[in-house]
Structure 1
């Protein structure tokens, strides 16, 4: 069965599941949702090839679609399940790249209730979620300097693993006056090597004008292969002053055996110019050692305008400055559109 057939089958199953669920039990729901977006960009990084103009996604957000199921079990408990797939609107391909599995964004099942939530499966990485809370460009791997310098290899991203982790057992606590804690344990499945696993812990406070997050993670499995231990952390916050919102974060990592280390400092700003138009700006500086006597520094800055035509559709214009020590300055320019459904 080819990828198109799989997609059609998944959509058909979602529709049939939803109809059957509502017919059999009013307290069961299935929702189809997603985001499609792309942009046209002239892209150039400091240590990269000459600028190239192309239509691209992910843009501000990687396009995806998903199916969410909820079933009320009584006494405040629910069975929950999520299946989400990335896709490429530029060519119709599945995944962010061909390396992604079909359900590449999230795929998990679990129970939610007064105790919080426990899910098993593939989950978005907690460090990546923490970064989204403390930068104005949120999840963008192309326009958020913090995310670019963490997860994008061409921009020096040295974090071990992807923005999504496999084989996760994840617990999220109840919301206590704006405070939640999430922990994940992802066993590697290597016989006789129980210590080869990934783990992360993240605490988030979101109340009133303040958002603050602290996250730590230990990575020993990358793409199903045992890897050198890497420890990473992020501490950051955002504060909404009504007239503008400020963001800031400090992040670090150290990889055993290779002695690769990196420290990143980030600051951001968003300003609502009108009810529909916002100005965004962010800067990140990363000092990386690999090994300690070979130090490089990278400065990346982004500025943009985001105009909402409606609650679900926006247009954006972004420019990115990039400078790696020992190389010249490079500029990227992009304009694009996103639509939530």
Structure 2
């Protein structure tokens, strides 16, 4: 329950069938694990997650017609997870997390059929006064940093900053997923609000030990200010030689009590093509009451490259109203505008609900 409350605190509102047997088996195993953990005071296991869905009319600038649909997630992608730790003594604990995205509108696991079973996080490691060191599949810290500096958080449906940098249908200036495989991740302890994360992904390509991802991330939270600075290198293999993209993010949010203001800048540079991009984002969150929030955000991305086809300008904006029904449940209504150069305007209207557990 405490983990679910921490998840809600980071949300912007504060601001199948084939796998069913496997899921039932895992849940049964979890029940036995929790029972065993209670007998061992040094171990803790939690079941937690978030479920959300929305209904809307969706149209991007580069699509000819709107689509009326029921979508998965919305403000936050639906997921469930099992996490735990064991006290090893000396202030050190062994920790793990196994988390899976799912689609509540149809019961399917993953964000799509391409996702693995544990699609959100799947890692184990150690935590202590030295910080946290884990190994496995991790959420990309650049994506996490973006969620701190825009009012729509980690939304891959409504946040203009996230849409333009990570969502393929909107151009995804940053190469790679919001989750990285085969990675080692180290996070420093909190140092008076300052923190740092380093993540490295082993390439796993025979004869090419240098094919791997690398990210360095700095953050600060305190006195109403949140600030992030991130840099990452993604190497990839295609038909030709190994390519590499460098991506950078700088952003901040400041809570003035009457309004929280957000701003971010991101750029990418592909040294192989060569192509690049610059993204600018601004947003705000206004609390009308402890349970009611107005959210607004705009992002602009200019892409450049050697040909006319690789040059474009995109403006995306979202306006939303979020109402908390309780500490763990909220409802919302959102309008999004999208305009890609040489294409007509796209308009999206949606209403949704979200619940943490």
Q: TM-score, normalised by structure 2?
A: 0.92
Aligned partner of residue 191 in structure 1, secondary structure: coil
- Counterparts in 2 of 1:329-340, with a 5 A limit? 329-340=345-356
Secondary structure at 1:137 match in 2: coil
Indicate whether 1:301 and 2:317 are aligned: yes
Structure having greater relative contact order (Cα 8 Å, sep ≥ 6): 2
- How far, CA to CA, are the matches of 1:226 and 1:146 in structure 2? 31
Matched, 1:47 2:62: yes
Is the CA contact 2:237–2:243 (under 8 Å) kept in the aligned structure 1? no
Distance of aligned partners of 1:226 and 1:276 in 2 relative to their CA distance in 1, 3 Å threshold: farther
1:79-124 deviations in Å (ceiling 9; x for gaps) = 1000000000111001000100000000000000111110000000
What corresponds to 1:235 in structure 2? 250
Which residue number corresponds to residue 139 of structure 1?
154
Residue 39 of structure 2 is aligned to residue 27 of structure 1: no
The secondary structure found in structure 1 opposite 2:289 is coil
Distance 1:323 1:131 in 2: 22
Q: 1:251 to 1:292 in 2, by over 3 A?
A: farther
Per-residue CA distance 1:181-212 (angstroms, 9 max, x = gap) = 00011111222211111010100101120000
- The equivalent position to 2:293 in structure 1, one of 275, 278, 282, is 278
User: Which residue in the other structure is 1:315 paired with?
Assistant: 331
- Identify if the C-alpha distance between structure 1 residues 48 and 171 changes in structure 2 by more than 3 Å, giving closer, same or farther: same
Unpaired segments ≥5 residues, structure 1 = none
Q: In 2, are the aligned partners of 1:88 and 1:96 still within 8 Å (CA)?
A: yes
| Equivalence for 2:233 | 218
CA contact (8 A) 2:53 2:353 kept: yes
Within-5 A mapping of 1:120-269 = 120-221=135-236, 228-269=243-284
> Residue 256 of structure 1: CA displacement?
2.2
Change (3 A) 1:227 1:106: farther
Deviation of 1:176 after TM superposition, in Å, equals 0.2
CA 1:133–1:297: 2 relative to 1, 3 Å: same
* Partner Cα distance (1:111, 1:49) in 2: 50
Shift of the 226–137 alpha-carbon distance from structure 1 to 2, 3 Å rule, reads: farther
Whole-angstrom distance in 1 between the partners of 2:289 and 2:187: 36
Give the match for residue 5 of structure 1.
21
Partner of 1:37: 52
Instruction: Answer whether contact 1:320 1:331 (CA < 8 A) is retained.
Output: yes
- 8 Å CA contact 2:183–2:200 kept in 1: the answer is yes
- Taking the aligned partners of 2:119 and 2:206, their CA distance within structure 1 comes to 26
Unaligned stretches of 5+ residues in structure 2: 1-16
The 3-state SS of whatever aligns with 1:273 is strand
Aligned with residue 328 of structure 1, among 326, 333, 344: 344
CA deviation profile, 1:44-72 (whole Å, cap 9, x unmatched):
11111301111111211110000001111
Number of the residue aligned with 1:118: 133
Q: Do the aligned residues in 1 keep the contact of 2:284 with 2:296 (CA within 8 Å)?
A: yes
Q: CA deviation at 1:126?
A: 1.1
Tell me, in whole angstroms, the C-alpha distance in 1 between the residues paired with 2:345 and 2:205. Answer: 45
SS at 1:39's partner residue?
Answer: strand
Taking only aligned residues, the RMSD between alpha carbons, in angstroms, comes to 1.6
Matched residues, number:
339
* Distance in 1 (alpha carbons) for counterparts of 2:202 and 2:269: 21
Counterpart-to-counterpart distance in 1, 2:96 and 2:136: 10
For 2:18 and 2:106, locate their aligned partners in 1 and report how far apart those are by CA, in whole Å.
16
